[in-house]
A = this chain, B = another copy of it.
Amino acid sequence: MDKVTIKEIAKITGLSVGTVSNVINHVKVRKKNEDRVQEVINKYNYIPNKIAKSLSNKRTNNIGFIIPDIKNPYFPEIVRGAQDLLIKSQYYVFLCNTDNDADKENGYLNDLLSMWVDGIILDPCSSSRDLEILNKIKIPVVLIDREIEGFEKNIVLVDNENGAYKMTKYLISRGHKRILNINGFKNLSTARDRNKGWERAMREHNLEVREEMVHFGSTSVQQGYKIMSSLLGEVKKYDAIFASNDVTAVGVMECLKDNGFLVPNDISIVGFDDIDYVKYIKPSLTTYKNFVYDMGEIAASLLLEIIDSEEDKPVKKIVVEGEIIVRESVRDRI
C-alpha cells in the first residue's frame, strides 16, 4: 500500500509494464485497456516516479537558476519571468543564491550538473572569473544580467551602457553638469557598462570627467549609504548624482537626508533599474526602467530553445531596452 509502482499496476490490471507505461505517456493503447489502467491508477493512487523516468530518459525537466540573492528586489522579477515561462513546459527550477561568492557559484554549478538539470540560467557573480569549471559544462547555459569576460555564451542583458548614457544625457538636458557617479562593483559588467554610458554622455557634452567622480562598490542600500557618507564633504561640488542601481540610490538619498541635504533642491539624483518600490519613496526616484521580468522570460525561452534543438546554433546576445521614468528626484538647474 505504501509504494505503488508501475509494476504493481501492471500486475493488478494483468497488463504488461510496457502497456501501462504507454497509457501513462499517452501512447496509443486499446481504449478498454487504457480505461482499466486509469481506473487502477486512481484507485491505488499511483504517482509516477520522475526520478526513475529521468534516469531512463537522461533528462529531468529541471533547470538550475543561479542568482546573487533573492532578497535583493532586483532578482525576484527575473526569477518570476523565467519561471512563469518554464512552468508552461513543466520545467521546475532549483533556486540558488551565491551572495556574489564565486566559490559558492562553482559549488552550485557542480551540484546542478550532478543533479542532471537540463539547463542552467546563470546570473554570475563575477566577470573576471576562473573559466575552467564553466567551460567544462556541456549542458545548455544561458547567462543573464551580467557578462563574463572571455566566456562567449548565449546571454540576455538590459542595455546598461546605452541606458546609462540616456540617463546621464537626461540629467545634462536638465542643466546638470557636474555629475557624481556611484556605481556597482567594478568586477561586474553591469557596473562597468553603466559607467561607460555615463562617461560617454559626459564627454559628448564636453563635461569634465575626473577619476574622483566615480565610486564603485555598491549594490545595496547599506553600501550606497556608506559610500555617500564618505562623500559628504563633496556634495557642494556636484549638481547631481547618477546612482547606477536603485538600491544604491535609496541608500544615497537616506544618507543625504540624514545629513540635512534636500533632494532635489540641494542635489538631484537618478537611479537605475526601477525596482518596485522607488515610486513610493520621497522624493520618488527618477530612474531607468529595466524590464527584468522580460529579461528572465527571454532567457528561459532561449534556454528551452537550446535544450530542444539538436545541433548547436550560433551564440545569441539579446539586449532588452529600457526607458527613462521621470519622477521627482531631479530638478531643473539653470
Where the two chains meet, the residues of A that have a C-beta atom closer than 8 Å to any C-beta of B are 2, 45, 47-52, 54-55, 60, 62, 69-71, 73, 76-77, 79-80, 83, 90, 92-97, 110-111, 113-116, 136, 138, 221, 250, 253-254, 276-277, 280-282
Chain B nearest CB from A28 CB (Å) reads: 23
Tell whether, in the assembled complex, residue B282 and residue A47 are in contact, meaning their CB atoms are under 8 Å apart. no
Known: A70-B79, A280-B250, A281-B281. A50 touches B116 (CB 8 A): yes
Copies in the complex: 2
- What separation, in Å, do the CA atoms of A48 and B80 have in the docked complex? 30
Question: In the complex, are the beta carbons of A111 and B95 less than 8 A apart?
Answer: no
Instruction: Say whether, besides A55-B52, A60-B51, A92 and B115 are in contact (CB < 8 Å).
Output: yes
Query: Are B111 and A92 touching (Cβ within 8 A)?
Result: yes
* Cβ B48 vs Cβ A51 within 8 A: no
Tell me which of A69, A138, A253, A281 has the highest count of chain B C-beta atoms within 10 A of its own C-beta. Answer: A281
- Extra 16 A-B pairs, beta carbons < 8 Å, given A49-B116, A51-B55, A94-B94: A2-B138, A47-B113, A48-B114, A50-B111, A50-B115, A51-B115, A62-B94, A69-B80, A70-B70, A70-B76, A71-B77, A73-B73, A80-B97, A250-B277, A253-B280, A281-B281
